[in-house]
């Protein structure tokens, strides 16, 4: 078994991306009735590099020292490419954010993921018309 603390930040981000996307989709589907097109648009706003950059800026003050360290590892991970619709800063921040979520998931900290995700949702309201 691999020690999660020694796992590649990009591998943690790989898991974190899926976990966060699923949590956002669950929230959207269970809290209001949207058509599928609106669900997709709202999901993209939350899980895009820009959305995750904003989410990270909102949660910085509630992170533990360990969580901040995990984010830095993710931000500093080498990447071959950058997302089309995001700056390098946004892309690196989103990778750090995903790395944190992946780390929390793989270390069994589901309650912490839930708390962080709910905190983000309470503090970011995206427009369903975009």
Provide the annotated active-site residues: 17
Torsion sign over Cα 99, 103, 106, 112: negative
Give dist(CA 25, CA 21) in Å, integer: 6
Q: What angle do CA 47, 59, 56 make, to 5 degrees?
A: 40
| CA neighbours closer than 13 Å in the CB half-sphere of residue 42 | 24
């Amino acid at each position: 078994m691999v020690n999660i603390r020694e796992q590649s930040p990009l591998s943690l981000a790989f898991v974190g991306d899926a976990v966060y996307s699923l949590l956002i989709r669950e929230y959207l589907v269970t809290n209001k009735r949207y058509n599928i097109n609106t669900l997709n648009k709202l999901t993209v706003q939350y899980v895009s590099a820009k959305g995750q950059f904003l989410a990270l800026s909102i949660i910085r003050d509630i992170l533990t020292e360990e969580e901040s360290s995990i984010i830095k590892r993710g931000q500093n991970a080498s990447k071959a490419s950058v997302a089309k619709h995001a700056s390098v800063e946004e892309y690196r921040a989103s990778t750090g954010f995903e790395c944190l979520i992946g780390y929390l998931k793989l270390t069994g900290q589901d309650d912490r993921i839930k708390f962080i995700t709910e905190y983000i949702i309470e503090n970011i309201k995206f427009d369903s018309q975009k």
